[in-house]
Amino acid sequence: MGSTPEMTELVLQARSFEQRHAATATFPAAPLPTVAAFAKRTGFSPEKQGTQVILREQVACELGHPTTQSVCTVLTTTDPGLVRSGALCLVGPDLAEIPMGTKVPFGQVITLLIREGGSADPFDLETTQYLIDRLPGYMVRSLPGRLWARVSKEARHAGFSLVTLAQALMLVYASRFSSVLASEVLLVTASDDIVSELAPLAMAADVLRGTHKKVTLGAADIECAEQSCETCVEKPVCDSARELLKQGSNRT
Amino acid sequence: MKPKIIAVCGKGGVGKTVVSALLGKVLIDEGVTPVLLVDADPVAGLVTALEASPRLTLGHLRDEAISTLRQGEEEKRSLPTRLDYRLLEALEDRGAYSLLAMGRSASKGCFCPVHALLRRAVKTLAAPFRAVVIDAEAGVEQIQREVTSHVSHVVVVVDSSKRALDALELIEQMVGPGPSLHVVQNRGRPGRDHVSPEPCACFPEDSALGDLDAAGTTLWSLDPERPVWKEARRLARALDLVRGDH
């Protein structure tokens, strides 16, 4: 991941989106706290800390539920002129304006200023955007390019807002990646249609990262009568599953 | 606090689904909530008994996982988080209780490591529940394949048949020292059946259950005065999930 003319174009597209929706956009001005101060206030941790599951009865709000639109992506650039450090643009209501128990569509675009020549695992850089198990009261489940989040009633009563979320996103990137020099966040909760407008941008970012590429090893009906792994043509599938099992909780 | 995980096992047709359904309802009524009810039978017993028709099942997720693992590296790496997402989607959350169905898988083959990935994801999802009741597949294969691993209690349902008692003996051997084992007799014949270990509950034959089953009506609509409910509460007490004299 780095900066290319194509990625620069995507960053500008995100900016155009904001301008298109300027009438309903807000730019909450909240100075970015230190990690320690933020962690003390919210329980945030830059690294995964256990697994949280928020069941329906405890949900204050759902962002990007499977029945709504959900788009998320990470853009990167080495051009400091393209990133408004610490900026948050919110298109649509914040949590306090959303009735309890509502499912709202959700768009999230994070733009990162990367140090020229910096190296970071592209997979880690991309998956960190989901903020899985790093913020108590904010549970996330994700598919590539899509996230589904639940905010607990307890967190919302304690003041959790989309500003909190944006700050957590900025702090997690700053903490985990020394090559990330600055970041800005765009969050969209306005409507399915407006969130959908971000889909082409997210898809284009995927193509630039190469994550759209798939190699199919082939699939054939198999018989497992002898239950012998060594002769089974699907052994690569199971070997891959074993690899993932060994990695255990080292997923981001 | 970790949930109590109860696997209800036994030979086919002994009444596992009835016991699972009634136990689940008792736990909900007694406030041991939230409860996760898992229908681990690919032929769908518990979900049908509760008039549920899940759109997404563990069988679907198994197929998706296998398909993903045949793809490129990027896809593979995202599989654990993808499973978490789809599993939450598959969960029918109804407040005091939730339902999860095994369903059928289209992929032939054992794919044991894939099951292990799924088991791990289910274990994560089960964490906030106070109790998990698994209506297991008939027979002993799920115990053999450790699909019911991490359980704290194994409830073996028997009826009057020798085959059911043979299955009990086999399950006792296979379960090992970890979980506690409890026997429930279903459709018992007082004074005529000799079951060892002694059952912790004895559900009498009840034609009303059969009527509900035949009509496709939820078993939870059974008249609360029927004796089977008392036995379901006895079972819940034996599992140390509820207290008191009911």
Token digits for A99? 């009735």
pLDDT of residue A15: 95
Distance CA A161, CA A116 (A): 33
Contacts of B141 (CB under 8 A, 6+ apart): none
pLDDT of residue B148: 52
Q: Which of A55, A141, A213 is opposite residue B128, by nearest beta carbon?
A: A55
Radius of gyration of chain B (CA): 18
What is the mean predicted confidence (pLDDT) over B25-38?
Answer: 95
What are the chain A neighbours of B111 within 8 Å (beta carbons)?
Answer: 234, 237-238, 241
Inter-chain touch B113–A238, beta carbons under 8 Å: yes
pLDDT beyond 60 at B186: yes
In 3D, which of A83, A108, A92 has the Cα closest to residue A25?
A92
Q: Considering only residues B115 and B51, tell me which one the structure prediction assigns the higher pLDDT.
A: B51
**Positions of chain A with pLDDT under 70:** 1-3, 210-231, 249-252
pLDDT beyond 90 at B22: yes
pLDDT of residue B144: 53
Stretch among B75-89, B105-119, B170-184, B193-207 having the lowest mean pLDDT: B105-119
Are A61 and A142 in contact, with CB atoms under 8 Å apart? no
pLDDT of residue A225: 42
pLDDT of residue A77: 92
pLDDT beyond 70 at B134: yes
Inter-chain touch B65–A241, beta carbons under 8 Å: yes
Nearest-Cα distance to chain B for A204, in Å, is: 16
Contacts of B191 (CB under 8 A, 6+ apart): none
Tell me the whole-structure pTM to 2 decimals.
Answer: 0.79
Q: What is the DSSP letter of B10?
A: B
- CB atoms inside a 10 Å sphere around CB B30: 16
Packing angle of the helix pair A5-20, A199-209 (nearest 10 deg):
170
Report how far apart, in Å, the C-alpha atoms of B104 and of each of B54, B56, B80 are.
12, 10, 21
Angle, CA of B60, B63 and B65, to the nearest 5°:
110
Inter-chain touch A130–B81, beta carbons under 8 Å: yes
pLDDT of residue A240: 84
ipTM (interface predicted TM)? 0.74
pLDDT of residue A156: 96
Distance CA A48, CA A17 (A): 32
pLDDT of residue A210: 63
Q: Which of B71, B94, B124 is opposite residue A51, by nearest beta carbon?
A: B124
Contacts of B189 (CB under 8 A, 6+ apart): B160
Label residue A79 left, alpha or beta by phi (over 0 means left) and psi (-120 to 50 means alpha). beta
pLDDT beyond 70 at B126: yes
Q: Using an 8 Å CB-CB cutoff, list residues of chain B that contact chain A.
A: 34, 65-67, 69-72, 74-82, 84-86, 88-89, 93-96, 98, 108-114, 116-117, 120, 124-125, 127-128
- Give me the residue label for tokens 């060994």: A246
pLDDT of residue A191: 96
pLDDT of residue B174: 79
Nearest-Cα distance to chain A for B82, in Å, is: 5
Distance CA B119, CA A152 (A): 26
Q: How many Å from the N-terminal Cα to the C-terminal Cα in chain A? A: 17
Contacts of A7 (CB under 8 A, 6+ apart): A75, A76, A77, A205, A208
Are B137 and B3 in contact, with CB atoms under 8 Å apart? no
pLDDT of residue A224: 44
According to DSSP, the β-strands at B131-135 and A146-152 are: unpaired
- Give me the residue label for tokens 């913020």: A135
For residue A143, the surrounding DSSP H or E stretch is: strand A138-143
pLDDT of residue A61: 97
pLDDT of residue B124: 86
pLDDT beyond 80 at B80: yes
Nearest-Cα distance to chain B for A30, in Å, is: 31
Radius of gyration of chain A (CA): 20
Label residue B176 left, alpha or beta by phi (over 0 means left) and psi (-120 to 50 means alpha). left
Backbone angles phi, psi at A166, to 5 degrees: -60, -40
Distance CA B163, CA A194 (A): 62
Angle, CA of A58, A145 and A53, to the nearest 5°:
20
pLDDT of residue A188: 98
What is the mean predicted confidence (pLDDT) over B167-171?
Answer: 85
Report how far apart, in Å, the C-alpha atoms of A133 and of each of A20, A220, B221 are.
34, 37, 40
What are the chain A neighbours of B125 within 8 Å (beta carbons)?
Answer: 53
For residue A103, the surrounding DSSP H or E stretch is: strand A102-104
pLDDT of residue A214: 38
Token digits for B204? 């009498």
What is the mean predicted confidence (pLDDT) over B140-167?
Answer: 77
pLDDT of residue B149: 60
pLDDT beyond 90 at B111: no
What are the chain B neighbours of A219 within 8 Å (beta carbons)?
Answer: 67, 70
